[in-house]
Amino acid sequence: MLLHLAVARTLYNGDTIFYAVSFILLMWIVKVLAWKPVTKMMQDRSDKISDDIDNAEKSRKDAAAMAEERKAALAGSRVEAQTIVKDAKENGQQQREQIVTQAQTDAQSLKDKAQKDIAQEREDALASARNDVADLSVEIASKLLQRELKADDQKALIDSYIEGLGEQHES
């Protein structure tokens, strides 16, 4: 019995099989529980990171392009704004000149017209006054003629009349 124990103690060969089997079993359990899902997750993560890096690179390029575009647009709009302001100034200037010219022309024509009217008016007034004077003088003459005429008076009258005629003629 003692010998049997001693022999057994030197080599418990069953343990070898036990450990081999349990190791293989453990390997299988680890594979199912941990190895497969964790490795898959690690792979997914590294894929995602690499994707993210690519995307970040792409976004950076896009952003740079957009910034460039915006810069160009800004420069364009500045030029445009300058043109607009310049145009507006020119337009304004032109319009002002036009308005002033127009006003001057208008004023001139109004003035001319007014002068013409005034002259006409004066002419008319003179003409009518002359007519009135003629009528009046005829009337006065007729009234005077109806009175008794003395020789001197008659003479003076004729003189004055003749004088008046001369003046009338002159004017």
Buried b (16+ CB within 10 A) or exposed e, 16-41: eeeeeeeeeeeeeeeeeeeeeeeeee
Q: Is 161 in the site for another protein (CB under 8 A)?
A: no
Q: What is the DSSP string of 92-148?
A: HHHHHHHHHHHHHHHHHHHHHHHHHHHHHHHHHHHHHHHHHHHHHHHHHHHHHHHSP
Per-residue contact string for residues 9-48; x = within reach of another protein by CB under 8 A:
x-xxxxxxxxxx-xx-xxx-xxx-xxx-xxx-xx-xx--x
* C-beta closer to another protein: residue 14 or 171: 14
Which member of 5, 143, 147, 169 binds another protein (CB under 8 A)?
Answer: 5
DSSP designation for 1: -
* C-beta closer to another protein: residue 26 or 134: 26
Per-residue contact string for residues 44-73; x = within reach of another protein by CB under 8 A:
xx--x-------------------------
Q: Shortest distance, CB of residue 52 to another protein, whole angstroms?
A: 11
d(CA 110, CA 105): 8
Binding site for another protein (CB under 8 A): 5, 8-9, 11-20, 22-23, 25-27, 29-31, 33-35, 37-39, 41-42, 44-45, 48
